[in-house]
Structure 1
Amino acid sequence: MLSFPRAVPVSRIATTILRTAVVIAIVLAVSPLRPYLSPSAWPKNSQTSKVHPRPGQLLTTVELGHIEDTARRILDSPLKHPYKEEFGELGRRAQQLRGWISLANSSSSPGDRERLEQVIESTAQSLFPFLQSPPGNPRSSTPLADLVSSFHPRSRGIVIPTGSATLRFTFHSIASLREVLNSTLPIEIAYAGDQDLPPSDRWRLQSRFDNIRFLDVLAVFNDTTLDLKKGGWAIKPFAALASSFEEVIVVDADAVFLQSPEILLEQRKYRSTGALLFHDRLLWKDLFKERREWWRSQISDPSDALSRSLVWTEGYAEECDSGVVVVNKSRPEVLVGLLHVAWQNTREVREEVTYTITYGDKESWWLGLELAGSGYAFEAHYAAMIGWPSGSGEDGEAKLCSFVIGHLDERERLLWYNGGLLKNKKVDGTLFGLPTHWMVDGTWLKGARRTQMSCMVGERSSELAEEEKEVIRRSIGLAREMDTQFGF
């Protein structure tokens, strides 16, 4: 029996409901029925919150009937074009789904549970059609439960989505993680079928590295509504869902770590919410008005996390750098939020909305978690500059420039940066770069073209510690070795 630990409630949940959640967990521990997910506190805006779980008691016929009637209304009113206006509605329905999962897990009646499971599966497949007809079992009537059962209890690991186009950077990344930082976390290489990452490329990776395995996302999800072979960034949330790990660190192939990624799983914000995200650069204040107005049209009750956002409160344009995302799928609110993120990256939705109003998958992560009522947290600072001194700003203050952006841990130490070990992978595929300085909370000066560096001014510049430089130096050395060995 697959069992999930009780989720830690988020701050917006009433104290009385917290007490209820504790009792539910005790009931679940002795229940002979397989849970879909662990019991969780009720979502604030769920219409089903009027039907409170009563541990050890049966739901009344009226209560079950109300749930089934609500599910029928959802099935009779599927989301449709224009999807731009459906993001918030999907979030509200997802919160209802989460509430029903909690009821099913707390039920002491096999009959009640069976009826609730039918409601959960039919609703989940209606809201998230990519769950339907999974390639491994196309006739399954319980694809959500099947997906959850594929997660290995208490497992943690790294998922690197890649294809042939990013294979070189995947070699660089794994070598640094394994042979410089000595990370022992298992690694899954996620891809979208043989056209995306051919068997010959998989063999090359496996011939070089131990403790990696491969995850064909198209073997888990039906690609009919996804088109992940041509989707680029869109594979990332599906890779997170398809992974066998309960706790997943999704890492872009060109992310460069300065500390072991195990540290991510110990960050207080992650442990308290179950989802850790990283900020993008603070850019373009008061621009992209349509984007900001659309977010506000879909979010009626911003969470504490969003209320602290400078994008939300001060009108900046970009919130998230999705080069590293950490999620705990054993927490029901996080899993349901992740389903919303994945929906935003389905073919029709991304082409019509997600990749039109925003850039790639970046903003879909926080938006999906926010709309589904999930707990999540961002790093404390917006993105840092990690690069090289370049003269001085207008007032003589320090000025740092590069083609990458950096991120800090909760101790205010550099943790990782995006863009790879090359100085600028878009311009020169042979020139590696060893950054020397970093700065945080300054003012960004964005390069107009890809050939131009971006810079930061207005704050004190700090030199990288010698151990940080050594991590990058050794990683570059290994990258050069593999470029030669594998012909990149």
Structure 2
Amino acid sequence: MYAFLPLVLSAVCGAVALSNSQPQRRRIFLGLSAFFFLVFGVTFNTRLQLTTPESILYEEEQLPSPTKSSPIIVEETQEEEDVEETLPSPDDPPPIEHSPSSTTQESPSSQSPPSTIDVVISEDDGELMLPSSFLSLAPTDKSTTYFAKQADFALQLWNRYQTTDERTKKWRGISKLMETLVFPFVNQSMILDTAVEYFTKLSYSGPQRGYVILMGGHHFRMGNHLVQMIRKIWKSNLPIEIFYLGDSDLPLPQRQYLESIDDQIKVRDLTQLPIWDENFTSLKDAGWSAKPYGVLASSFAEPILMDADTVLLQNPEVIYEEKSYLDTGIMLWHDRVTDTGTKTQNYLRELLKERKISETLGGTKYWTEKQGEHFAESGLVVYNKRRPETLFGLMFVLWMNGKEQRDHTRDFLYGEKETFWLGFELLGFKWHIQPEVGGAMGKLQSGGTHSGMQLKDVGILHFNSSGQPLWFNGGMYVLKSYPRGGLKVDQGWSEKDAWAYHHQGTWGAPRWLIDYDIYQNHRDEVKKDERLAQLIQDSVKVIIQSERDMYKSFPKAAESWKGEFSK
């Protein structure tokens, strides 16, 4: 009779948690519920071992399974039966090495809720399974090393997954009360069956590749430009998912227009998806920090995330063939080098001081010579969610963009862009950023005080691995903050080696300046390219025609600027 007391206590704590509206208390009671159920599970397991054949004890569970290949696991043989384990806390010593294959140092602790992780993915078809999952990361202090402590805790969970055999994983999935999704940004009221069905259907059953755009009404016009370039300039038919943050963020007429372009474009309210815990995410107020949530929520296994003001200079599908992306499952680009302060640099160095710096970060002048304040640019980001390591790292990036976490980094990081790589660096996972820093692209004109040449209407330019212009950030307007300033026709771009510009003190221009004065000794690095000039001109024609069509068919969508294309 007393053997069932932990089960009763677990149920009581679970009921209290579900009825409690305060996130902190709810997590405490969920942790207690999970703890009591683990006690019951271990007790029940011991009794079964004494009375039940092993073939019955570890009977196959009726859970979704990959259809094309076995789950990716690191197999280790356990010679003895499962025994009670004490799970890690943020105060435990960190793993010796921050890598997926390293083992963890574990010590008893009562400060964190019991947690397990089993994220299993078939790399062939990308089907996601969660045989069991774990409760939210235990809270720690908000010191400079806050993220590092949480990364240590997450790594212990990851390493436990990597070194746990399949049989033990199945047994850890015994409790339906513990089957909440990974990390606290996920709505913990979703039981496992619902969660698995949702993520399998939402994230991995549709097309493997596609485009994700987060778009608000303020950038609707530039977002339409991007969609038109994808479809009519580059003839890419990959599906497009557009996310917005509530009805007031993107008005209904504009949503209706975007979905009318073709049946492969879906517009969805990111805040209304049932998977989020709004108390943790506060997505309606997240701004830029909502972007990684769009990556996870997208129905694509390999989403290309783009800002609404991204301008494509090549077919974006070529990114999928980049060797570095194929090797790591991640593709990022550098920000341009600006001399606007040292807050971000100082914060990152303090945060990573106990870490083994990766070759990816340590090989840059940003790290070796402290050049520039901002490191990464998030106008275009690519993740392969079929890779378990990438998916886990992405989830940690989402955690870093929760409301409390955003408040913690507001004084150090410029939005979410550094978290796209920082989460992986903290975990010791592979990631890639193109080695060239952001250049400049704009209309080449005479003038300036140094060489007689200057770029007008500058956008931040990015290159592929072959050194060819791939995309730029800044939109097709002279001033993206004032769209009525007119569409620009770009005719030149600066060459890749922007470090020299920084040394000359010319690369620190604030982002809002639209002119770029070329120094005499860098004059040869500015090239005029007729192909790109023609590409931009063709794009402008397509955009103007689409806006005229919009005004005729969806006048309310173009209400704020309808006078410009009324003829």
TM-score tier after normalising by the smaller chain length? 0.7 to 0.9
Q: CA deviation at 1:184?
A: 1.5
Write out aligned runs for 1:29-178 (5 A).
34=64, 39=72, 53-54=75-76, 57-58=77-78, 60-61=80-81, 65-66=85-86, 74-75=112-113, 78-82=138-142, 84-103=144-163, 107=166, 109=167, 112-115=169-172, 125=182, 128-133=183-188, 138-141=189-192, 145=196, 148-149=199-200, 150-152=202-204, 155-178=208-231
Contact 2:376/2:418 (8 A) holds in 1 = yes
Deviations 1:186-208 (A, max 9, x none): 11111223232343322111122
Q: Please list the CA deviations of residues 366-420 of structure 1 after superposition, one character each: whole Å capped at 9, or x if unmatched.
A: 1112112221111120001111335578774965454311000111111000011
What is the alpha-carbon distance in structure 2 between the residues aligned to residue 280 and residue 463 of structure 1? Answer: 21
Residue 433 of structure 1: aligned partner? 488
Counterpart residue number, 2:16: none
Judged with a 3 Å threshold, the aligned counterparts in structure 2 of structure 1 residues 223 and 201 are, in CA distance, closer, same or farther, namely: farther
Instruction: Give the letter for the 1:384 counterpart.
Output: G
Q: Which moved more, 1:268-277 or 1:360-369?
A: 360-369
* CA distance in 1 between partners of 2:195 and 2:346 (Å): 34
Contact 2:447–2:453 under 8 Å retained in 1? yes
What is aligned with 2:564? Answer: none
Task: Write out per-residue CA displacement over residues 249-269 of structure 1, whole angstroms, 9 at most, x where no aligned residue.
Answer: 100011000111101111111
- C-alpha separation between the residues in 2 aligned to 1:424 and 1:446? 19
The structure having more radius of gyration, on CA atoms, is: 2
Is contact 1:190–1:214 with CA below 8 Å preserved after alignment?
yes
Conserved? CA contact 2:243–2:269, under 8 Å: yes
Question: How far apart are residue 362 of structure 1 and its match?
Answer: 1.4
Q: Residues 60 and 262 of structure 1: is their aligned pair in 2 closer, same or farther, counting only changes over 3 Å? A: farther
What is the alpha-carbon distance in structure 2 between the residues aligned to residue 195 and residue 322 of structure 1? 24
Q: For residue 72 of structure 1, report the CA deviation from its aligned partner.
A: 6.5
Distance 1:314 1:419, change over 3 A: same
The answer to whether the 8 Å contact 2:213/2:307 transfers is yes
* 2:238 corresponds to 1:181: no
| Structure 1 position 445 matched with structure 2 position 507 | yes
Q: 1:477 aligns with which of 536, 541, 546?
A: 541
User: How many positions carry a matched residue from both structures?
Assistant: 434
The letter of the residue matching 1:170 is G
Residue from 181, 205, 213 that aligns with 2:258: 205
Structure 2 counterpart of 1:334, one-letter code: T
In 2: Cα distance, 1:476 partner to 1:400 partner? 19
**Cα drift, residue 431 of structure 1:** 1.2
Which residue is 2:390 aligned to?
A: 334
Give ranges in structure 1 of 5+ residues lacking alignment.
1-29, 42-52
> Equivalent residue for 1:237?
292
Residues 204 and 141 of structure 1: is their aligned pair in 2 closer, same or farther, counting only changes over 3 Å?
Answer: same
Selected match of 1:297 from 350, 353, 356: 350
Q: Deviations over 1:240-291 (max 9, x none)?
A: 0111111111000110001111011111111100011000012228x41x43
1:435 deviation in Å? Answer: 1.2
Match of 2:15 in 1: none
For 1:377 and 1:329, the matched residues in 2 are separated by 15
SS of 1:339's equivalent in the other structure is: helix
Give the residue type in structure 2 aligned to 1:90: Q
Distance 2:112 2:181 in 1: 10
Q: Distance in 1 between matches of 2:279 and 2:529?
A: 49
What is the CA deviation profile of residues 333-371 of structure 1, one whole-angstrom value per residue up to 9, with x for unaligned ones? Answer: 111211222122212211231x32121111111111211
Aligned partner of residue 284 in structure 1, secondary structure: coil
* Structure 2 residue ranges without an equivalent (≥5): 1-59, 89-106, 115-136, 552-557, 562-567
- Deviation (angstroms), 1:31: 11
Q: Are the counterparts in 1 of residues 307 and 380 from structure 2 also a CA contact under 8 Å?
A: yes
CA distance in 2, matches of 1:463, 1:451: 21
Identical positions, percent: 26
In 2, Cα distance between equivalents of 1:431 and 1:315: 37
Q: Is the Cα–Cα contact under 8 Å of residues 101 and 120 in structure 1 kept in the other structure?
A: no
CA contact (8 A) 2:180 2:190 kept: no
When residues 338 and 396 of structure 1 are mapped into structure 2, their CA distance, relative to the original with a 3 A threshold, is: same
What is the match of residue 3 of structure 1? none
Q: Distance in 2 between matches of 1:99 and 1:58?
A: 16
Q: What SS is found at the alignment partner of 2:411? A: helix
Distance 2:231 2:419 in 1: 30
* Structural RMSD (CA): 3.3
Q: How far, CA to CA, are the matches of 1:94 and 1:59 in structure 2?
A: 27
Q: Which residue type is aligned with residue 151 of structure 1? A: S
1:324–1:313 CA distance, 2 compared to 1 (3 A) = same
The higher-RCO structure (CA 8 Å, 6+ apart) is 1
Structure 1, 71-80 or 369-378: larger mean CA deviation:
71-80
Residue identity matched to 1:366: W
Is the counterpart of residue 380 in structure 1 residue 380 in structure 2?
Answer: no
Distance 1:280 1:147, change over 3 A: farther
Residues 40, 249 of structure 1: alpha-carbon distance in 2 compared, 3 angstrom cutoff: farther
Contact 1:382 1:441 in 2 (8 A): yes
